Structure 1
Amino acid sequence: MCRWLAYTGNPIQLETVLFREEHSLIDQSLHSRYGATTTNGDGFGVGWYGRHNELPFRYRCAHPAWSDRNLRDAARAIHTPLFVAHIRAATDTPSQETNSHPFRHGRWLFVHNGSIRDYPNVRRELMLAVKPELFASIEGSTDSEVMFFLALTLGLDHEPVPALERMAAMIEDIGWRNGVKNPLNMTVCATDGEQIIAVRYSSERVSRSLFHSTSFRHLHELYPDDPRIQMVGDDAFLVLSEPLVDLPGVWEEVPENTAIIVRGANVYQRPFEPH
C-alpha cells in the first residue's frame, strides 16, 4: 500500500529520516519490510510547518521518491520541528500529483495508508457526504482525500479523534449497506502544526503496520554517543509505518484500534471506537 511517518521535536533536516537512516523512507520506497507491497513508487510528498501560525508547506510529486533529485536538495535545506512524509503505492486511482499525500486544507495535513474497499462502488455516496463548502477543495480521486474531507466535515477542527471516529463509522456504514465486507483499513495521521493525531484501525481488526518511538530521554541513556538520538532532543516523537533503524528499545508497535495524540512533550493513547 503506502508508507508514512510524522515527526515532532527539535528542528531537524528532512534528510535525516528521508535519506540517512538504514531503513529511511526512501529505502522503504524500494524495500519495504512491513508493507503490503515491497515497492512504493507511485508518488510521494512531504508537508512541514515553519513559523508559528504559518500555513503548512508541501512538496508533492507523482514520480518515485528515489528518482527525484530535487527532493534530496529540498530535504537537506529544510529544517523543521514538525513534518509528515508519505510514499505511495496506488490501488484504484492513478499516479498523479493531486493523488499524492499529504492532503492539505487550512492548517491541516493528512496522510493515509490502507484503503476503502470496493471504493468505486461507494465513492459517490461518500463524496456527497462532504460539506458543500469543502467539496470544491477536493483535487484528486483517491479514497484517502475523501476520508480527509469527511473528517473535516465531521469536526476535525474542533475534536480531532471523535471526528476521525465518526469518519470511520460513516465509511463502514455505507460500505456495509452496499454489501462490502470489512469496508475500511487504515493507518492515518492528521496534524495542524500544534498536535499530531495518528490512528491504527481496520474493520477486520488486522490493520497495516504502525509504530512509534519510545522515550528519547530513555534512548539518550541507552545510546549516549549516538548523534542521531542527541539531535532530536528529549521530547521528540516519531510515529511511522515501519522502523527506521534496528536498535533495541527504540520502537513500540501501536496496538490495534488505537489513537495517539501528541502535543509537544505530552503523548496520549486512547481506544479508537468508530461511532
Structure 2
Amino acid sequence: MCRFLAWAGAKRFLDELVMDQEQSLVHQSRNALIGKTPINADGFGLAWYSGRETPCFYKDTNPAWSDANLKQLTHHTKSHLFLAHVRASTGTATSRNNCHPFGCGKWSFMHNGQAGGHDRIRQQLDGMIPGHLYDHRLGATESEAIFLIAHGEGLDAEPIAAMERAVHRVEVLARAKGSLPHMRFAACWSDGDRLFAARYASDRFAPSLHYRPCDDGIIIASEPLDAKNGDWAEIPANTAIETRGDRLQMHVFEPNGRSLDAEVA
C-alpha cells in the first residue's frame, strides 16, 4: 500500500511535515508503523499550490529517502496547501507516471488502496474515463482512473459525491469481474482552495487515515507524524472530511450504500 499526508492552512515549508517530524513521511517510506507494508519505496510525489490556479508537481521513482532534490525542494518551498505521497505498488510498474499525486486542471489527487483484480478490469476502467479527459490518463493505476472517473462524475460541482460515485462504479466492476478485496480507499484531493479526504473499504479493512487540527491549519496523514496520539483523530470508515480555512466538516462517504446492481455489461 502507500503512505501520504496533506496540509491546508497557513503557508509553511514542505519539509516541516515531509522531512522533519518524528514519524515524517520520508521516515514512513522506510518504516511505516501502520498498514500492510512498512516499506514504501516505489516512488514518491508532491503537489503544491503557490499562487496559480493549477498545482505544481514533483515526482520520481527513487525511494523518497534517497532523493537529494526532494530534500532541497521541500526545504525551500512554502505553500498553504500541499499533498505528499510515498508509493508501495500493488502491481503496476514503478514509473513516474504511476506516482501520486495525480493532476487534472486545478485538481490534485492521491490514494492509498486498490481495486481488486485490477489487471482483469483495467481496460473497462479506462472505458469509464470520459473521452475529453483521457489525455490526462498518463499512467496505468486504478488510482488515476478513479480520479478521472470522478472528474466525469462532476468533481467541480460535487467534490465528495462525485468521488463517491466514482468509487462505487469501480467497486461494482471489481465485484463483477475482479477479485477480493473489491475496494480499499483512503484518499485526499484538492482544488487549491479546499482539501478533501475520505476513508472506505468494501470489507472491514479500510486503509488508515488520521487528521490533526493545528492553530493555523490541519494535517491529514495515513498515520500520525509524532507520538502525541492524543492530538490525532482517526477518520472513521465510511467518512469524508472537508476543510476550508479554519472550518472542518465531516460527511458520510458510503459508496456501498448505493445499489450494487449490474452496471457492467
Query: How would you bin the TM-score normalised by the shorter chain?
Result: over 0.9
1:46-125 alignment runs, 5 A limit: 46-51=46-51, 53-125=52-124
Larger displacement relative to structure 2 (108-117 or 121-130): 121-130
- Measured at CA, do residues 136 and 270 of structure 1 come closer, stay the same or move farther in structure 2, by a change above 3 Å? same
Structure 1 equivalent of residue 21 of structure 2: 21
Structure 1 stretches of 4+ with a deviation exceeding 2 A read: 179-182
Contact residue 211 and residue 243 of structure 1 kept, 8 A: yes
After superposition, the C-alpha distances for 1:170-212 in whole angstroms (9 at most, x for unaligned) are 0111122226344110101110101011000000032111100
* Contiguous gaps of at least 5 residues in structure 1: 217-233
- Measured at CA, do residues 248 and 119 of structure 1 come closer, stay the same or move farther in structure 2, by a change above 3 Å? closer
Structure 2 equivalent of residue 242 of structure 1: 223
Contact residue 121 and residue 178 of structure 2 kept, 8 A: no
For the residues of structure 1 that align with 2:217 and 2:250, how far apart are their CA atoms?
16
* Contiguous gaps of at least 5 residues in structure 2: 259-265
Structure 1 equivalent of residue 206 of structure 2: 207
For the residues of structure 1 that align with 2:131 and 2:179, how far apart are their CA atoms?
26
Structure 1 equivalent of residue 263 of structure 2: none
After superposition, the C-alpha distances for 1:124-178 in whole angstroms (9 at most, x for unaligned) are 1111011001112110111111111111111111101110110111011112222
For the residues of structure 1 that align with 2:178 and 2:146, how far apart are their CA atoms?
19
Q: How many residues align?
A: 256
**TM-score, length-normalised on structure 2?**
0.94
Contact residue 117 and residue 180 of structure 2 kept, 8 A: no
- 1:54 Cα shift? 2.9
- Measured at CA, do residues 117 and 248 of structure 1 come closer, stay the same or move farther in structure 2, by a change above 3 Å? closer
Contact residue 118 and residue 178 of structure 2 kept, 8 A: no
- Residue 257 in 1 paired to residue 256 in 2? no
For the residues of structure 2 that align with 1:248 and 1:120, how far apart are their CA atoms?
38
For the residues of structure 2 that align with 1:62 and 1:256, how far apart are their CA atoms?
30
SS in 2 for 1:7: strand
Contact residue 172 and residue 182 of structure 1 kept, 8 A: no
Q: How much is the aligned-residue C-alpha RMSD, in angstroms?
A: 1.1
After superposition, the C-alpha distances for 1:219-270 in whole angstroms (9 at most, x for unaligned) are xxxxxxxxxxxxxxx2410111001111142101110110001111110011
State the identity %: 38
**TM-score, length-normalised on structure 1?**
0.91
